[in-house]
Amino acid sequence: MRCSSGKIQYDSQQLAEDALIDQHIYKGFAAHEGPQNVYECRDCGYWHMTSKNAERLPRLQEMQDSGEMRKKQQASHWERRF
């Protein structure tokens, strides 16, 4: 069943969080750009990403604070050049 929100559906919070982190890595988002957190949808019961008015996902915040996100983004950028 597709969701009326038109958003991508994830089976679990874990999968949605992983996908969110991946997007930040591969798309090279700045901290405030792109999806910020995940939520369980009342319409379809699956999980979606959200960008607006969301508190930042703690896992994402930690990766940004520690510099891990920047390292992963740079590694990803480097890999794509070859």
Contact between residue 10 and residue 45 where contact means Cβ atoms under 8 Å apart: no
In whole angstroms, the minimum distance from the beta carbon of 23 to Zn ion comes to 18
- Give the nearer residue to Zn ion in terms of CB position, either 3 or 31: 3
Check the CA dihedral 36-40-41-47 and report its sign.
positive
- Give the nearer residue to Zn ion in terms of CB position, either 39 or 77: 39
**CA–CA dist 23, 73 (Å, integer):** 10
Summarize as ranges the residues that interact with Zn ion (CB under 5 A): 3, 5, 41, 43-44
CA distances from 24 to 9, 20, 79 (A): 18, 6, 15
- Give the nearer residue to Zn ion in terms of CB position, either 42 or 80: 42
In whole angstroms, the minimum distance from the beta carbon of 49 to Zn ion comes to 11
In whole angstroms, the minimum distance from the beta carbon of 47 to Zn ion comes to 8
